[in-house]
Chain A
Amino acid sequence: MDPKEVETLITNALEGAHTVVLDPNNDRTHLEAQVVWDGFEGMRLVQRHRAVYQAVQNELDSGRLHALQLTCLTTQEAKERASAG
Chain B
Amino acid sequence: MSRLADLAVEEEDGAVVARITGEIDLSNAATLERAMLDTVPNTATGMVVDLTGVSYLDSAGIRMLGEMAERLRWREQRLAVVAPEGSRVRGVLTMAGAQDVVAFEDSFDSALRAVVGQG
Partners in one complex: no
